Amino acid sequence: MQQNSFSYPAMLDLKNKKCVIIGGGKVAVRKALPLIEAGADLTVIAPAADPQLLTLAKTGLLQLELRAYADNDLIDAFVTIAATDDFHINRKIAAAAPCLCNVVTEPSLGNFSVPSTVKNGALTFTLSTGGMPALTRVLSQDLRAYYGSDFAEFNEFLQ
């Protein structure tokens, strides 16, 4: 099995940073939620959108543009996520992105990947297994079980 080339872990401050998701399905929803939680200035662009994206837009948590991707959509973006089901559009986004770019369907086209995250209070664990989702799920469950609320409370106490 070929190992991915993503080898530099980082935690990003996305507060008020322009982030763009191209795609409007369930994957876009899954990608949007942590960006919203991080305080990103999020725009989702897609010809059609999942009902959950429509609700998030109505509540002002993201901007939703119901249209096709255009070449100038990534100007000034800090993070871009290509989450369409169209191979050609995802490749076009990856080639045009002047920023951090995650391509959901073909991670190797982008320049970063999003690891699995386990959160408990102020504790955040990120986990990457190099493309082994089943192992990632098992390890995430183990982290949740082992580092439960006692650790989060202790961390809060230490702070």
**Is the torsion defined by CA of 72, 73, 74, 76 positive or negative?**
positive
Q: Which of 67, 83, 76 is nearest to 19 (CA)?
A: 76
| Average pLDDT over every residue of 37-50 | 97
How much is the average pLDDT of 99-114? 92
Per-residue pLDDT, averaged over 136-157, amounts to 88
Position 129 scores a pLDDT of 81
Question: For residue 10, what pLDDT band results from cuts at 50, 70 and 90?
Answer: confident
pLDDT at 4 over 70: no
Nearest CA-CA partner of 65 in 49, 51, 81, 85: 49
Q: In this predicted structure, what is the pLDDT of residue 155? A: 86
Query: Average pLDDT, whole number, for the chain?
Result: 91
**H helices of 4-84, where?**
26-37, 51-58
